[in-house]
Amino acid sequence: MTDLLKVQDIDPIQFFTDGGVLPLLSKIREQADALTFDVSSEDGVADCKKAAREVASIKSAIDNKGKDYLADLKNRCKPIDQQRKIWRDEMDKIRDQVRAPVTAMEQAELARLEEIKRQQEADEEARRVELAKKEQEMKEREAAVLRAEREAAAKVEAERMAKEREERARVEAENAAARRVQEAEEKAARAERERLGAIQQQREAAERAEREAQAREERAKLQAQEEARREAERIERERYAQEAAKVQQAAREAAEAKRLAENKEHRDKIHAQIVYELGAIIEWAGIEQAIEDVANGQVQHLTINYEV
């Protein structure tokens, strides 16, 4: 293989461009394909290793040739790169000098916008704090109002019922009056339309619009009254529920007191019976006999345990 070429005769410009390595690679590959080795013998193994070393030697020699050529090219390019860097750096400085007024203006504008943003954030934080304070005050006022309403609800029950009856009667009367007024207006409008013709039609349209507005106002008024009535009923239901809870609690307490009293009465009865029976035994037979009777279970509700 070493007879294929002399490394010093290689022209790196021709060899390392335009596929110059391919012909040599083809020749070396053909020779490598033709090689055969008897690796069962020491000479065959040695020949195989020697051929591999020759291939490696050719590879390194030609690669070093190309490396030296590339290093020379890089050295030639260094002055160009230095001049290019000087050109870029100086042109950037000139560009920055030319743009300096706009840059200063943009920086000042950016600083101004940042200050505006900071002030807006501070204002927003102050608004949030103030809003939180107002919300807390509103909650406290609402709580105070709620307490006052609950306290007043117990006092206005009779008045609420009377006012509710009066309100229903008033609403019914207003509705009846409104219906009568509406019927009268409609009757007059029909008669007027027959008499005045086309002119009366325009007037009727205006009157109809006015009636509709009045009707809407009346309906809104009735709705508001109905909502007020429902709210009053809701408050009343809550009061009734609270009263019922109090009654139930009182009933439970009374039942517990009754149970305790009955239990005490039962205990007192048992104690009296024990005292009576023991007194009788002690009076007729003595204390020792009384203790023996208790131990034998002859005294009701009383026992002696001798176990240790």
pLDDT 10s digits, 138-187: 888 888 777 777 777 767 777 778 777 788 888 888 887 878 888 887 88
Range of the domain at 41: 7-98
Instruction: Please report whether residue 25 resides in a domain.
Output: yes
Query: Of 145, 215, 163, nearest to 186 (Cα)?
Result: 215
Q: Are residues 82 and 122 in the same domain?
A: no
Q: Are 1 and 54 in contact (CB under 8 A)?
A: yes
Q: Name the residue with higher pLDDT: 37 or 276.
A: 37
Between the CA of residue 267 and those of 82, 253, 263, 274, 277, what are the distances in Å?
Answer: 116, 21, 6, 11, 15
What would the DSSP string read from start to end of 55-110? HHHHHHHHHHHHHHHHHHHHHHHHHHHHHHHHHHHHHHHHHHHHTHHHHHHHHHHH
Do 133 and 53 reside in the same domain of the chain?
Answer: no
Domain co-membership, 69 together with 86: yes
Within a domain: residue 281? no
Residue 49 shares a structural domain with residue 129: no
At 234-265, the pLDDT tens digits run: 888 888 888 888 888 888 888 888 888 888 88
> 């207006």: which residue's tokens?
185
- Single out the residue in 153, 172, 197 at which a domain terminates: 153
Cα–Cα distance for residue pair 251/243, rounded to 1 Å: 12
pLDDT for 165 equals: 79
Q: What is the pLDDT of residues 48-64, one digit of tens each?
A: 998 888 888 888 888 88
